[in-house]
Chain A
Amino acid sequence: DTGVSQDPRHKITKRGQNVTFRCDPISEHNRLYWYRQTLGQGPEFLTYFQNEAQLEKSRLLSDRFSAERPKGSFSTLEIQRTEQGDSAMYLCASSLVGGEGYEQYFGPGTRLTVT
């Protein structure tokens, strides 16, 4: 399977704990995006990378959130001191800029539950 993969698929954690999610994009894609989706809403943009450079962070991304893409391949999203409001589906997407279009393809997501 050469699609976007995410790990873990589900994470249950207690408030105050740190969690880290991983995303592996489609191999030839140079852009990687993180989104967050809550029930009944469309995904909301969090941050994105072109190769290893983080180009933009949303205001939704508080100081407790950090994302990296150290070698321009996989990315990690860490949430420190989790809060119940962090419970959501965290989606990763990738795209190839410079191709015929810039469609983004999503991974299966990591569903986070903070208790």
Chain B
Amino acid sequence: RKEVEQDPGPFNVPEGATVAFNCTYSNSASQSFFWYRQDCRKEPKLLMSVYSSGNEDGRFTAQLNRASQYISLLIRDSKLSDSATYLCVGPKGGTSYGKLTFGQGTILTVHP
């Protein structure tokens, strides 16, 4: 079983829509998670860190549910520029301060 799993989508939404991605993790010892955004043929860029129950940054909200072992990312008022692949990321092997394990990525397309 992969350490981090997410629905690959694709998600196609109109501008202004609210969209949510879910991600599950297998290692209950994992403490911290990240959401990265990756544009086509570019490197992953850090979007949000999730160290406790959740984090909010403008239109983006990330939540961590330790009991159910899932992380979510909510994007409100979607923009065309939000179109990208969103990667759910956790600590590989449940360790902190070290290597990361990535989900497959969820593809989002925001259309006019």
Contacts and interface: CB of A to CB of B under 8 A. Distances in A.
Interface of A: 33, 35, 40-45, 48, 56, 91, 97, 101-109, 111
Given A35-B100, A102-B97, A103-B49, 12 more contacts: A41-B104, A42-B102, A42-B105, A43-B44, A45-B99, A45-B101, A48-B98, A101-B49, A101-B51, A103-B34, A106-B44, A109-B42
The 8 closest A-B pairs by CB, nearest first: A42-B102, A106-B43, A45-B99, A102-B97, A43-B102, A106-B44, A97-B97, A108-B43
B53 interface: no
Contact of A45 (B45, B49, B100, B103): B100
Nearest to B104: A42
B96 interface: yes
A50 to B, nearest CB: 9
B20 interface: no
Given A105-B46, A107-B43, A40 B99 contact: no
B71 interface: no
A106 B36 CA distance: 10
9 contacts: A35-B100, A41-B105, A42-B89, A56-B98, A97-B97, A102-B97, A102-B98, A104-B46, A105-B46
Interface of B: 32, 34, 41-46, 49, 51, 87, 89, 92, 96-105
Contacts of B45: 106
Contacts of A107: 43
A44 B89 CA distance: 11
Q: Which of B87, B100, B104 has the most CB of A within 10 A?
A: B100
Nearest to A33: B99
Contact of B103 (A42, A97, A104): A42
B99 A108 contact: no
Contacts of B44: 43, 91, 106
Contacts of B92: 45
A102 B101 contact: no
A53 B14 CA distance: 48
